[in-house]
Amino acid sequence: MSLSLFDLTGKRALITGSSQGIGHALARGLADAGAEIVLNGRDTAKLDQAAADLRDRGATVHTLAFDVTDAGAVRAAIDGFEEATGPIDILVNNAGVQHRAPLEDFPPEDFERLLRINVTGVFNAAQAAARHMIARGRGKIVNIASVQTALARPGIAPYTATKGAVANLTKGMATDWAKHGLQCNALAPGYFETPLNQALVDDPDFTAWLCKRTPAGRWGKVEELVGTCIFLTSEASSFVNGTTVFVDGGITASL
């Protein structure tokens, strides 16, 4: 009985930015838990390759190419998919970017780009999906936050601002939509080995600092995010709403 709470059989999950990295790992994990998967990205070739990987694992997979910053395109894609294929039961808002520079020299155009993708993109996809979920009286939304939701580090102040905004936007989603049967939560990874972090992974000084700073003493592996994501997208979290769950090896718990 208890294990059935985590079963996603019969559910359909859209994961934005899921052709690689954390998004693709979460798609694999949700598929292994029984979900039908909808992959999203802007590069159709990378999407097709990612879809083939999941199909090789036995998953049922669709691809839906759109840019999360284009509200009209997001709504058209999600509305069209719902009409042609069926309901999206789960949305994982994973699409995001990073840009590193000293704050005093940070290019304004890159600040705006981070806001558009990391915050507005979450709003666009959540709003488009929630309109259908509200009509059905159920739905799961998981927004990917970050250890930077709680902590800052030199050179990434705008990214930190966007991930703080994701946590508060998640609270707002829960406040507005819980009464309609939706659970809206955030998953906040710590430092994981991903393409987004490759420059840091390859920096021996940074890796040494990270391993000393993190109680677990290492980089995270993307597969270690899957369990929390399954929890937040399954019936196991039916009364969990508006919270941010940190999966970070203890880095936000210690000085």
What are residue 65's DSSP bridge partners?
41
Copy the structure tokens of residue 147.
């250890």
Domain tally for the chain? 1
pLDDT in tens, 161-203: 999 999 999 999 999 999 999 999 999 999 999 887 888 999 9
CATH number (domain holding residue 72): 3.40.50.720
pLDDT, residue 197, reads: 86
List the catalytic residues.
159
Residue 180 lies in a domain: yes
Q: What is the dihedral of CA 146, 201, 105, 20, to 10 degrees?
A: -60
**Domain of 162?**
3-247
Does residue 1 carry a pLDDT above 70?
no
pLDDT digits (tens, 9 = 90+) for 70-103: 999 999 999 999 999 999 999 999 999 999 999 9
Give the DSSP letter of residue 234: S
pLDDT at residue 36 is higher than 80: yes
Does any domain span residue 238? yes
Residue 254 lies in a domain: no
| pLDDT tens-digit series, residues 57-66 | 999 999 999 9
Task: Give percent above pLDDT 90 in the chain.
Answer: 96
255 is a domain residue = no
- CA dist 33 and 226 (Å) reads 10
| In-domain check, residue 212 | yes
Tell whether 253 is covered by a domain.
no
Angle at alpha carbon of residue 51, lines to 134 and 139, rounded to 5°:
15
252, part of any domain:
no
Residue pair 111/89 in contact (Cβ under 8 Å)? The answer is no
pLDDT tens readout for residues 157-166: 999 999 999 9
Alpha carbon distance 104, 110 (integer Å) = 13
Task: Report percent pLDDT > 70 for the chain.
Answer: 100
Q: Is residue 216 part of a domain?
A: yes
